[in-house]
Amino acid sequence: MVIDSKQTTVAYRCSECGAGVISMVGLFSLSADMIKLKCTCKESEMQIVHRKEDNQMRLSIPCIFCRKPHTYNISSNMFFSKDIFLLPCPYSDINIGFVGDENMVKAELARTELELLDMLEENGISDFKSLHGDEEDLPDSQVLDVVTYVVGDLDAEGKIYCKCYPDGREPLPDDVLVRDDSEYEVSVTDDGVEVCCAKCGAKKVIPTDSMLTAHAFLNSDFLKLE
């Protein structure tokens, strides 16, 4: 089934209270520069901009893991025609944004909630409200250990990609980048663990502000530097 090309359903999960936020978005409503989808707790919002110059939809979605929004660009045609389009946190396998048919979006939102609840339980967190506790209570050294271990593991498996990737194409999850020796530098910054390619300068910062973030990154199949 292909949904009406004039409207679609968008949703995200509030990064503060954990509630699912869902709304119908029509092409007419996007005639303005920006529309905002806000949670009832008033602590988060999803922004959607229709860039008429290239007919792209620019989405800024709050992330329940990283405590900061991630930005995605989708063609207008795909935005309004796909049955379901999932937008994951770049550091985990968990989807944080949903676009498409209303019933499919609601089903995926519910499935992701169960996945998140399981993850919270594994990390000893009772509910979404206590997800982001006081920063002083976070086990900083343990978070750093988990993230740096995963980075080293991905490097050893040839699963870190950057602008040096051969043929200039995007890597696939099953690809392995074989290098004679590691050219990736890992350093700890105020924002997290930074991985940088010494050859092309591409880099990525993995947040280390919570064990949940570290757990999400633990499930990563690869790391792409930009």
Give the tens place of pLDDT for each residue, 134-191.
Answer: 444 444 566 677 777 788 888 878 788 887 765 544 555 555 454 445 578 888 887 7
Of the two residues 8 and 193, the one the predictor is more confident about is 8
Residue 134: the pLDDT is: 45
Q: In whole angstroms, what is the distance from residue 47 CA to residue 23 CA?
A: 12
Residue 168: the pLDDT is: 47
Q: Which of 30-39, 89-98, 216-225 has the highest mean pLDDT?
A: 89-98
Residue 46: the pLDDT is: 94
Q: In whole angstroms, what is the distance from residue 20 CA to residue 84 CA?
A: 16
DSSP code per residue over the chain: ----TTEEEEEEE-TTT--EEEEEEETTGGGSS-EEEE-TTSS-EEEEEEETTTTEEEEEE--TTTSS-EEEEEEHHHHHH-SEEEEE-TTSS-EEEEEE-HHHHHHHHHHHHHHHHHHHHHTT--SGGGSS--GGGS-HHHHHHHHHHHHHHHHHTT-EE-TTSGGGPPPPTT-----SS--EEEEE-SSEEEEEETTT--EEEEE-S-HHHHHHHHT-S-EE--
120-134 burial by CB neighbour count: b if 16+ within 10 A, else e? Answer: beeeebeebeebbee
Q: Residue 166 carries which side chain, given as an amino acid letter? A: P
Nearest Cα to 9, choosing from 71, 87, 102?
102
- Listed in sequence order, the residues at least 6 apart from 190 whose beta carbon sits closer than 8 Å to its beta carbon are none
Q: In whole angstroms, what is the distance from residue 170 CA to residue 77 CA?
A: 22
pLDDT at 88 over 80: yes
Average pLDDT of 213-221?
A: 70
Residue 3: the pLDDT is: 44
How much is the pTM? 0.60
Q: In whole angstroms, what is the distance from residue 102 CA to residue 83 CA?
A: 9
Least confident of 71-85, 157-171, 191-205: 157-171
